């Protein structure tokens, strides 16, 4: 394949046209998965809304399985592969390594995604996202996941190969950009994730075909979560990279300290994957030492890293804004931020929601003993809708608004809706996460068709507040689904019917990256960031309070030893 380069006239970015095409296809495949997953979300939410209870039990569990897999695996990983291609070939201004293999990997992923969806909708693979043994799905359910994973693994290697190409062909000087470093973190976690997935899904496939007699349920759960949870840690690394990218694109913000931000990513590389143990804290057989070391990401070093990113991203924005003269008081920099720019507002809502709702709840339920309070309750999906939907998906959706003109060369249609969308979708998801966590605190089970236990001889009656929370989940969830659906329509319409924008210059050789020479005598001392520090301290206070309230709650339970 010949390599040509396009210089985007709107962003100044240089795209290898092979990589660009692959990015577009990955992004589109991701959005299509999001569409399927979103329709399924509506089915889930309208069934769990006690007053509506839309679907029959068998359909509900099928729909819930599809929702989990299409969202947590297909949507985000397709999109993340586009992010990897962007962060390597585009940001390093080089050619992409092995574009042909890139297509092989894309089609493996696409065929895998279709195969698993077919298996689910045939109705005999309603085994949930987790597909815990000994419950068995049809063989093509597992095979689809394996093909998808192999494809994603190839793209990870292409990403690493592209780093090598850029270094060998000297398209940049010094170290890779911070955003690329974040993508590298995501790539490393992805490789661990996929390898673990292979270790457990290949035997499971053989078991579903009858070649293996039995798979141990505890062994399965332990290794499977190295896939299931780590795959969500790819998201964390990727969406933090996108926070930095959007801060750079919108504000021209530079990281407060390369050393601090990269070291924080380094802690992710070392320890983030250990959090897979969060799912096994209430399981038999695994020792407390194993549980404590792993669930705490080895002494909470990855939480430390997230708290650092949570401060340095807004801190970098504050510095950039103060340099522009927004210096009044603690928060003028924030008040005067471009709240009507959906890339920024999505990113900021993503950051706040991820920290306050997803982060705090995640650490609480990841404490070994506290986990008993919420294990398998709807608190857990409450938590991960805060991390994966508000944290990751909202950041990706905001970035897509930037990509429509830059990558797809189309003018965005309905810009008025784009202004509203982050608030409509983001804030309704804030509410969904909150009320789900509320219901979970009262004990309501996740993955459960009927909280009234219809047909059970010894039905339990949940407190009225639990019904209220599940009703609110239904209402806010519906708002989120509809606004997300409109976002998909907006993007699809823009890609199909938006005004075509100028391609920009096409070249056969890349322009190497040139940097402005460092300011003589070192950079001017950057302004301090008191506003960000206040936000960080508010966060810490809520964190400490909520954490200890839950220990208090735990201490009121039956004694257990």
Partner 1 sequence: MSAILPPSERVWWNQPIDKLEFTWIAIALVWSLVMFAMMIWWHIFGNQNLANETYKTTKEMYAAKTQAVVDQYTVRTGDEAEKQFPIVKPPAGSDIYLIGRLWDWWPVYELEHGKTYKLHLSAMDYMHGFSLQPQNINIQVHPNYDHVIKITPNAAGIYSIVCNEYCGIGHHTMVGRMYVK
Partner 2 sequence: MADQQEERIPVMQQVLDNPFLLLFLGITIPTVLYVLWGVMEIANIPVAR
Residues 162-181 that bind partner 1 (CB under 8 A): 172-179
Contact string 34-73 vs partner 1 (x = CB under 8 A): -----------------------xx--x------------
Spell out a b/e string for 421-439, using b for 16 or more CB atoms within 10 Å of the CB, else e.
bbebbbbbbbbbbbbbbbb
Stretch that binds partner 2, among 68-76, 111-119, 219-227, 419-427 (CB under 8 A): 219-227
Contact string 197-216 vs partner 2 (x = CB under 8 A): --x----------------x
Q: Which is nearer to partner 1, 81 or 373 (CB)?
A: 373
Q: Which is nearer to partner 2, 57 or 260 (CB)?
A: 260
Which residues lie below 8 Å from residue 543, measured CB to CB, with a gap of 6+?
A: 359, 360, 363
557 binds partner 1 (CB under 8 A): yes
The token pair that represents 527 in the structure block: 């302004």
Residues 278-317 that bind partner 2 (CB under 8 A): 280, 285-287, 290, 293-294, 298
274 binds partner 2 (CB under 8 A): yes
Distance CA 234, CA 77 (A): 8
Q: Which does residue 219 touch among partner 1, partner 2, none (CB within 5 to 8 A, set by kind)?
A: partner 2
Q: Is the Cβ–Cβ distance between 349 and 394 less than 8 Å?
A: yes
Which residues lie below 8 Å from residue 106, measured CB to CB, with a gap of 6+?
A: 22, 25, 26, 29, 81, 151, 155
Q: Tokens 């249609």 appear where?
A: 413
- Interface with partner 2: number of residues (CB under 8 A): 40
526 binds partner 1 (CB under 8 A): yes
* Of 9, 50, 161, 443, the one binding partner 1 by CB under 8 A: 443
Q: Which is nearer to partner 1, 3 or 282 (CB)?
A: 282
> From the CB of residue 517, how many other CB atoms can be counted at a distance below 10 Å?
6
Distance CA 315, CA 88 (A): 26
Distance CA 274, CA 291 (A): 10
Distance CA 444, CA 451 (A): 7
The token pair that represents 478 in the structure block: 């519906």
Q: Is the Cβ–Cβ distance between 268 and 233 less than 8 Å?
A: yes
* Of 211, 213, 287, 464, the one binding partner 1 by CB under 8 A: 287
Q: Which does residue 545 touch among partner 2, partner 1, none (CB within 5 to 8 A, set by kind)?
A: none
Distance CA 133, CA 445 (A): 20
Contact string 128-167 vs partner 2 (x = CB under 8 A): --------------------------------x--x----
The token pair that represents 70 in the structure block: 């299409």
Contact string 91-130 vs partner 1 (x = CB under 8 A): x------------------------------------x--
Which residues lie below 8 Å from residue 149, measured CB to CB, with a gap of 6+?
A: 112, 194, 197, 198, 201
- The least distance separating partner 2 from the CB of residue 290, rounded to whole angstroms, comes to 6
505 binds partner 2 (CB under 8 A): no
- The least distance separating partner 1 from the CB of residue 530, rounded to whole angstroms, comes to 7
Distances (CA, A) of 57 to 186, 263, 378, 475: 37, 48, 17, 21
Largest CA distance in the chain: 80
Distance CA 192, CA 153 (A): 10
Distance CA 403, CA 410 (A): 9
Q: Is the Cβ–Cβ distance between 537 and 326 less than 8 Å?
A: no
Q: Which of 227, 222, 232 minimizes the C-alpha distance to 283? A: 222
Stretch that binds partner 2, among 61-69, 262-270, 424-432, 455-463 (CB under 8 A): 262-270
List 14's β-bridge partners, or say none: 7
Residues 341-360 that bind partner 2 (CB under 8 A): none
Look at residue 122 and give its three-state secondary structure.
coil
Residues 230-249 that bind partner 1 (CB under 8 A): 244-245, 247-249
Task: Compute the radius of gyration of the chain from its Cα atoms.
Answer: 23
Q: Which does residue 192 touch among partner 1, partner 2, none (CB within 5 to 8 A, set by kind)?
A: partner 2
Q: Which does residue 543 touch among partner 2, partner 1, none (CB within 5 to 8 A, set by kind)?
A: partner 1
Q: Which is nearer to partner 1, 361 or 490 (CB)?
A: 361
* Of 46, 87, 223, 403, the one binding partner 2 by CB under 8 A: 223
Q: Which does residue 224 touch among partner 2, partner 1, none (CB within 5 to 8 A, set by kind)?
A: none
- The least distance separating partner 2 from the CB of residue 412, rounded to whole angstroms, comes to 35
Q: Which is nearer to partner 2, 183 or 413 (CB)?
A: 183
Q: Which is nearer to partner 1, 216 or 505 (CB)?
A: 216
Q: Which is nearer to partner 2, 294 or 321 (CB)?
A: 294
Stretch that binds partner 2, among 100-108, 193-201, 356-364, 494-502 (CB under 8 A): 193-201
Q: Is the Cβ–Cβ distance between 468 and 494 less than 8 Å?
A: no
Q: Which is nearer to partner 1, 320 or 480 (CB)?
A: 320
Look at residue 506 and give its three-state secondary structure.
strand
Q: Which 8-state DSSP code applies to residue 509? A: S
Q: Which does residue 456 touch among partner 1, partner 2, none (CB within 5 to 8 A, set by kind)?
A: partner 1
Q: Is the Cβ–Cβ distance between 239 and 392 less than 8 Å?
A: yes
Distance CA 141, CA 145 (A): 7
261 binds partner 2 (CB under 8 A): no
Q: Which residues bind partner 2 (CB under 8 A)?
A: 160, 163, 175-176, 181, 184-185, 188-189, 191-192, 195-196, 199, 216, 218-219, 222-223, 226, 230, 262-263, 266, 269-271, 273-274, 276-277, 280, 285-287, 290, 293-294, 298, 517
């Amino acid at each position: 394949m010949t390599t040509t380069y396009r210089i985007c006239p709107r962003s100044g970015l240089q795209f290898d046209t092979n990589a660009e095409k692959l990015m577009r296809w990955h992004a589109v495949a991701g959005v299509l998965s999001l569409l399927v997953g979103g329709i399924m979300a509506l089915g889930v939410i309208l069934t769990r809304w006690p007053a509506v209870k839309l679907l029959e039990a068998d359909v509900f569990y099928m729909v819930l399985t599809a929702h989990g897999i299409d969202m947590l695996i297909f949507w985000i990983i397709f999109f993340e592969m586009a992010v990897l291609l962007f962060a390597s070939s585009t940001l390093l201004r080089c050619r992409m390594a092995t574009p042909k293999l890139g297509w092989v990997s894309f089609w493996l992923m696409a065929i895998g995604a279709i195969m698993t969806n077919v298996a689910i909708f045939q109705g005999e693979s309603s085994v949930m996202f987790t597909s815990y043994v000994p419950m068995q799905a049809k063989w093509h359910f597992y095979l689809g996941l394996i093909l998808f994973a192999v494809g994603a693994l190839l793209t990870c290697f292409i990403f690493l190969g592209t780093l090598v190409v850029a270094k060998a062909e000297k398209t940049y000087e010094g170290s890779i950009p911070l955003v690329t470093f974040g993508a590298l973190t995501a790539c490393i976690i992805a490789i661990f994730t996929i390898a673990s997935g292979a270790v457990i899904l290949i035997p499971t496939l053989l078991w579903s075909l009858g070649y293996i007699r039995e798979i141990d349920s505890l062994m399965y759960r332990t290794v499977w979560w190295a896939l299931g949870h780590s795959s969500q840690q790819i998201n964390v690394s990727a969406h933090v990279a996108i926070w930095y990218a959007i801060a750079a694109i919108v504000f021209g913000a530079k990281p407060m300290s390369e050393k601090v931000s990269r070291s924080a990513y380094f802690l992710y590389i070392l320890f983030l994957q250990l959090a897979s143990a969060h799912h096994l804290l209430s399981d038999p057989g695994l020792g407390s030492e194993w549980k404590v070391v792993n669930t705490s990401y080895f002494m909470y070093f990855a939480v430390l890293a997230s708290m650092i990113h949570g401060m340095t991203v807004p801190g970098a924005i504050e510095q950039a804004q103060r340099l522009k003269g927004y210096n009044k008081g603690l928060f003028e920099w924030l008040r005067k931020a471009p709240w009507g720019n959906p890339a920024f507002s999505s990113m900021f809502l993503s950051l706040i929601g991820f920290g306050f709702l997803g982060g705090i709840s995640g650490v609480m339920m990841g404490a070994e003993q506290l986990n008993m309070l919420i294990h398998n309750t709807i608190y857990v999906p409450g938590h991960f809708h805060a991390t994966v939907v508000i944290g990751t998906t909202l950041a990706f959706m905001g970035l897509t608004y930037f990509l429509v003109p830059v990558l797809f060369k189309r003018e965005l249609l309905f810009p008025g809706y784009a202004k509203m969308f982050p608030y409509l979708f983001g804030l309704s998801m804030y509410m969904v996460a909150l009320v789900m966590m509320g219901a979970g605190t009262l004990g309501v089970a996740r993955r459960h068709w009927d909280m009234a236990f219809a047909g059970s001889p010894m039905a339990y009656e949940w407190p009225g507040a639990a019904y209220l929370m599940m009703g609110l989940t239904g209402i806010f969830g519906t708002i989120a689904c509809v606004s997300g659906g409109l976002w998909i329509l907006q993007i699809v319409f823009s890609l199909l019917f938006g005004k075509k924008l100028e391609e920009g210059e096409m070249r056969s050789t890349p322009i190497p990256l040139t940097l402005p020479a460092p300011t003589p005598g070192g950079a001017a001392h950057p302004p301090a960031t008191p506003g960000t520090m206040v936000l960080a301290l508010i966060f810490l206070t809520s964190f400490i309070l909520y954490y200890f309230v839950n220990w208090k709650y735990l201490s009121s339970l039956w004694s257990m030893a």
